Every structure is written in structure tokens, then in C-alpha cells.
Homo-oligomer: A and B are copies of this chain.
Amino acid sequence: MKKIKVGILGYGNLGRGVELAVNNSADMELVGVFTRRDGVQTVSGIKSVNVKDILNYKDKIDVLIMCGGSATDLPVQGLEMLENFNTVDSFDTHAKIPEYFNAMDKVAKKSGKLGIISVGWDPGIFSVSRMLFGAILPNGTDYTFWGEGVSQGHSDAIRRIDGVKNAIQYTVPIKEALGLVRAGTNPTLTTREKHSRLCYVVADNGADKNAIKQEIINMPNYFADYDTEVNFITEDELKLNHSTMPHGGFVIRSGETSKGNNHVLELSIKLDSNPQFTSSVLAAYARAIAKLSCEGKTGAVTVFDVPISYLSPLSGEELRSTLL
């Protein structure tokens, strides 16, 4: 069988993760890494190409995996690339998904390409679980917990405070809340009861640490609704103890099928590297997009629309005899 030819657009943590994932997949071949920078040295040695020249690869790539950010990169690049390539992206601004989906669908219907948006773990396989669990147990309640892991948005918010040199923020699910949910008690939980926030901050020399702490814990939206712990550490300690990117989380649904018969379904993930795991999900869905596009499917789709067998390199026969 011919290998699926993959391109990577953007070469940060996510792009490097996709490079690993594609090289781990015997049925895929990495064609090139496309970036806005010239002369980027890739980990695997695959050539990097300036994104300006990407149209030269129009007929050499089956699927382009988009590794830019949701805030500014994807809303522009996604639409642009879908005019010429099948795409996979990890657009994760939940509130803007419907708008982004509609814009992508319009482009793809016109170009005859296929684009899957919002792939990863949340949105992504967490969404798949929420949907599956809810379809099976219609009379129930959903809970999603995140962590323990680094939130880039919250870390950035701390870094913008005067007197802060660097910072890392961990989102931490609260064990007691998880315990109540797992016990099937269907509790009503406030924001504060579900997650706490743990901050490691490097202050500038002579900065007012108490003022920084007060600004963090009272910051609206980001911290004010949570119990927040602030620890001041040195830049060296930050590098030594907080430079990996672990993450994780839990999707739990608890619901009844009849009076007194309750069921609890849970997907939990524990990741050593958030970007490498997200990249592995992107690579699996790139396989599905290549297959669906071959069958003639066009437009925008999400994880909800893909038959799960399309994610696997195995045949239907192999899947039925080994995994069913």
C-alpha cells in the first residue's frame, strides 16, 4: 500500500511532536516541514521549507497537519491551506468552534478538500467520550476535570504582571471533587470546588512579591474564582523542576438507567508530554482524513464524524479479529 504523505505546518513543540508521531507510523511518510523561518534544522533531518513555497507541494502532500496556535495562526492559515490541501488542526477555542467550522466548511466545499478541526484531547478524544457517554446514558451528568498540568494561558497571564520575570501555572483537579463524582453522587460543583491553581513565579530583583501574589490571586477570570497557591522560586529552579509539559484529565459521566441503577463511565489520561500526545492524536486523524478524502469526502468535519476504524492502520478484518 502507498504511504500517506504528510506535511507539517509550524515547527514548535506541536510540530516536533507530529514529526515524531509520523516517523513512528509505518504507513506514513513525512514530506516536509513548513515554517515562516528559513533554514530551520529539524530533529529528524527532514527538510524545512519556507511556507511561501508550500504550493510547490500541492500534489506531493496527502494531508497537511497544522501546528500553529488557535488565537491568531489557525483562523487565517486554516482557511488558506484548505484551499489546496486536506488539513488537520487542533483549533481549541471552544466558543469559536461553530464559527470556525462554518468558515472551513465553506472553503473546503469549494476547493474539494477535506479538513478536520479541533483534534487533540480537549477538544478531541475528550469530546468523543463526552458524546459517547451521553448517548449511552441520556439521564446523567457530565464532568470534565483537567490536570495536573501546565496551562499556557494562565502562565502567560502571570508573566504579564509587572515585576514577574517568568512563571509556570499548573491546573490541579481537586481530589475530593473527583471522588464525589466517581462515587456517582452527581454533585453540583462550583469552579473553586473542581480545580485549584498552583503557580511558580520568578520575580525580578527587588520586586514586591506580596503585590505580585495579590495581583495573581485576585485576577478576574484567571484566578479570582479559584484557590490559588503562589510560590516564588529562582529561574534555575524553574528550569530544573518545571520545564517538562505533563498534563492529564478526566471525563466522567454518571447516570441512571432506572431508579437505583447508576453507572459511572470515565476516561482518564495521564501524559508526560502534552504536545507529544496531542501530536499523536493529530497524526492518527491525519490517517483518517487521507482515507476519507480518497473516498471523495469533502468539507469540514470533526472527531464526531470519523468512523473510528479510519484512525487505525489495520484492516477491518484485522480489527475485528484482534481488538473487538
Interface residues of A (CB under 8 A from B): 17, 20-21, 24-25, 94, 97-98, 101, 118, 123, 125, 127-132, 134-139, 182, 184, 257-258, 260-273, 276-277, 279-281, 284, 287, 302-309, 311-313, 316-317, 319-321, 323-324
Nearest chain B CB to A222 CB, angstrom units: 23
Q: How far is the CB of A75 from chain B (nearest CB, A)?
A: 16
B323–A131 touching, CB < 8 Å: yes
A101 & B320 in contact (Cβ 8 Å cutoff): yes
Q: Known: A302-B324, A323-B127. Contact between A272 and B263, CB under 8 A?
A: yes
CA distance in complex: A123, B303 (Å): 22
Chain B nearest Cβ from A140, distance in angstroms: 10
Among B139, B319, B321, contact of A131 (Cβ-Cβ < 8 Å) = B319
CA of A261 to CA of B284, assembled, Å: 18
Q: What are 8 A-B pairs at a CB distance below 8 A?
A: A131-B309, A135-B313, A136-B280, A258-B276, A263-B270, A263-B280, A265-B267, A266-B268
Residues of B within 8 A of A312 (CB): 131, 134-135, 304
Chain B residues with CB below 8 A from A302, complex form: 316, 319-320, 324
Contact pick for A323, options B20, B130, B261, B273, CB 8 Å: B130
Of B123, B132, B263, the residue contacting A277 (CB under 8 A) is B263
B272 in contact with A262 (CB, 8 Å): yes
**How many angstroms between the C-alpha atoms of A257 and B280 in the bound complex?**
8
Query: What are the 3 A-B residue pairs with the smallest beta carbon separation, nearest first?
Result: A304-B309, A135-B311, A257-B276
